[in-house]
Amino acid sequence: MFRVHHLTILTTAILFGIWCLLTYGGIVSPLFLPSPSAVVLELVDLYREGLLIKYTWDSVYRVTVGFLLAAVTAVPLGLVLGRSRIVEAITQPFIEFVRYLPVVALVPLTILYLGIGDIQKVAVIFLGTFFQLVLMIADVSASVPRDFIRASATLGANTYQVYRYVIIPCSLPGIMDNLRITIGWAWTYLVVAELVAANSGLGFMILRSQRFLQTDRIFAGLLIIGLLGVLTDWLFRKLTKLVVPWSEKAGGKS
């Protein structure tokens, strides 16, 4: 019986076949598109040089810390922002202004204020995800049906109880979904952070490889980032099923 995951396998096989055809068939120069075997050999060389694990760990560490800091601050603020007009009036103008600023333009300031260490890289990831995430969480919080809020108030629930037993449970599916989306952005901003004033990490490796026209090493770095992104997304899907098993998204698509 044909299943949906068969389509995923078929699509992957087609894309891989096109890649092999373009490279092994000599249609595209290795300077622009290395072959799969060249990328694999480059990964082996990186491992032997001791750079594969080190650079990957450095990047994973920066993404994890930056994203967790953004999530820990954005989720509670977003929940309150979506339900309180006072908090919205105080914070939203600033958040709306900053979220339209390109993170790349803020990199020089983060270097000026924080130096070129890991703190600066974490700050870039935080800035790139926090302001978007807090508004997404606020939208989820604001979408909680008012009838639920009124019913809880009628039953004598105070503000704390309304948040704990009504707003947070109702918002959890949307929160998990938004976290899964924004951690993808965190990987994007990681490369931005490591392209400037870095001496380790996958983004740094990609930039240095570009200077020496090492296209196979560039593709190796992109492959690692892509696989880490797929793994992260899969982990979030599993975590969503554990945290909000009642959600339709956690149950899968038809």
Per-residue pLDDT of the chain (254 residues; tens, 9 = 90+): 456 566 778 888 898 899 899 888 889 888 888 999 999 999 999 999 988 999 999 999 999 999 999 999 999 999 999 888 888 888 878 888 888 888 888 888 888 898 888 899 999 999 999 999 999 999 999 888 888 888 888 888 888 888 888 888 889 999 999 999 999 889 888 888 887 777 888 988 988 888 888 899 999 999 999 999 889 989 988 898 888 887 665 554 54
- The reported pLDDT for the residue numbered 103 is 83
Give long-range contacts, CB 8 A cutoff, 24+ apart: 28-35.
Answer: 30/215, 30/216, 31/213, 31/215, 32/215, 33/215, 34/215, 34/216, 34/219
pLDDT for the residue 251: 53
Helix axes 118-142, 51-81, angle to 10 degrees: 40
| Neighbour count for residue 118 (Cβ, 10 Å) | 18
Per-residue confidence (pLDDT) for residue 47, from 0 to 100: 92
What does the pLDDT read at residue 249? 58
H or E stretch at 222: helix 215-243
CA 81/CA 35 separation, integer angstroms = 50
Residue of 135, 125, 138 lying closest to 96 (CA atoms):
135
Question: Which bin fits 252, alpha (ψ -120 to 50), beta or left (φ > 0)?
Answer: left
Model pLDDT, residue 254: 46
CA–CA separation, 181 vs 233, rounded Å? Answer: 8
> Distance (Å, rounded) from C-alpha 97 to C-alpha 133?
14
How far apart CA 47 and CA 65 sit, in angstroms, is 25
Taking 3-state DSSP, the helix, strand and coil percentages for the chain, each rounded to the nearest 5, stand at: 80, 0, 20
